[in-house]
Amino acid sequence: MDRAVQLATDPRAPRGENPRVGCVILDSSGEFLSEGFHAGAGTPHAEVVALQAAGRAAAGGTAIVTLEPCRHTGRTGPCTKALIDAGIARVVYGQSDPTDAASGGAAELRAAGIEVVAGIEEAAAREVNAEWTVAVSRNRPFVTAKLAVSLDGRVAGYGGQRVQLTGAPAQRYAHELRARVQAIITGTGTVLADDPSLTVREVPVPPAGQPLRVIAGRRSIPPEAKIRNDEAPTLVVPDHDPVALLADLYQRGVRHALLEAGPTLLRAFLEAGCVDRLDYLLAGIWLGSGPRGLPPGPRLDLPGEVIETRALGQDVLIGYSLANLDPGAAADPIPSLRSA
Q: Which does 99 bind (CB under 5 to 8 A by kind): Zn ion, ligand AOF, none?
A: ligand AOF
- If 0-12 CB within 10 Å is exposed, 13-18 middle and 19+ buried, where does residue 175 land? middle
Cα dist. 268→126, 145, 153, 275 in Å?
30, 12, 19, 10
Closer residue to ligand AOF (CB): 38 or 178: 38
- Work out what residue 38 binds among Zn ion, ligand AOF, none; the CB cut-off runs from 5 to 8 Å by kind: ligand AOF
**Whether the Cβ atoms of residue 165 and residue 238 lie closer than 8 Å to each other:** no
Options 17, 35, 47, 121, the catalytic residue: 47
Angle (CA) 276-278-282 rounded to 5° is: 175
Residue 307's binding partner out of Zn ion, ligand AOF, none, with CB under 5 to 8 Å set by partner kind? none
Report the residue from 50, 83, 97, 312 that binds ligand AOF according to the rule CB under 6 A.
97
Question: Is 70 among the residues that bind ligand AOF (CB under 6 A)?
Answer: yes
231 is catalytic: no
> Whole-angstrom distance between the N-terminal and C-terminal Cα of the chain?
20
Shortest spacing between CB 273 and ligand AOF, in angstroms? 24
Residues that bind Zn ion (CB under 5 A): 45, 70, 79
- The answer to whether residue 74 forms part of the interface with ligand AOF (CB under 6 A) is yes
**How many other CB atoms sit within 10 Å of the CB of residue 202?**
13
From Zn ion, ligand AOF, none, which one binds at residue 227 (CB under 5 to 8 Å depending on kind)? none
Which of 36-45 are b and which e, b meaning 16 or more Cβ less than 10 Å from the residue's Cβ? bbbbbeebbb
Binder of ligand AOF out of 7, 24, 91, 102 (CB under 6 A): 102
Closer of 12 and 299 to ligand AOF (Cβ): 12
Closest CB to ligand AOF among residues 99, 210:
99
Kindly tell me which residue out of 26, 79, 257, 278 binds ligand AOF, with binding defined by CB under 6 A: 79
For ligand AOF, the closer of residues 102 and 281 by Cβ is 102
- What is the C-alpha to C-alpha distance for residues 308 and 160, in angstroms, rounded to an integer? 30
Please state the φ and ψ torsions of residue 93, each to the nearest 5 degrees: -135, 165
Distance of closest approach, residue 178 Cβ to ligand AOF, in angstroms = 23
Residues in 2-61 that interact with ligand AOF by CB under 6 A: 18-19, 21, 38, 41, 45-47
DSSP per residue over 188-223, as a string? HHHHHHH-------SSPPPTT-SPEEEEESSS---T
Residue 263 exposure: Cα atoms within 13 Å on the Cβ side: 14
> Is-contact 166 312, C-beta < 8 A?
yes
What amino acid positions are annotated as catalytic residues? 47
Binding site for ligand AOF (CB under 6 A): 18-19, 21, 38, 41, 45-47, 67, 69-70, 74-76, 79, 97, 99, 102
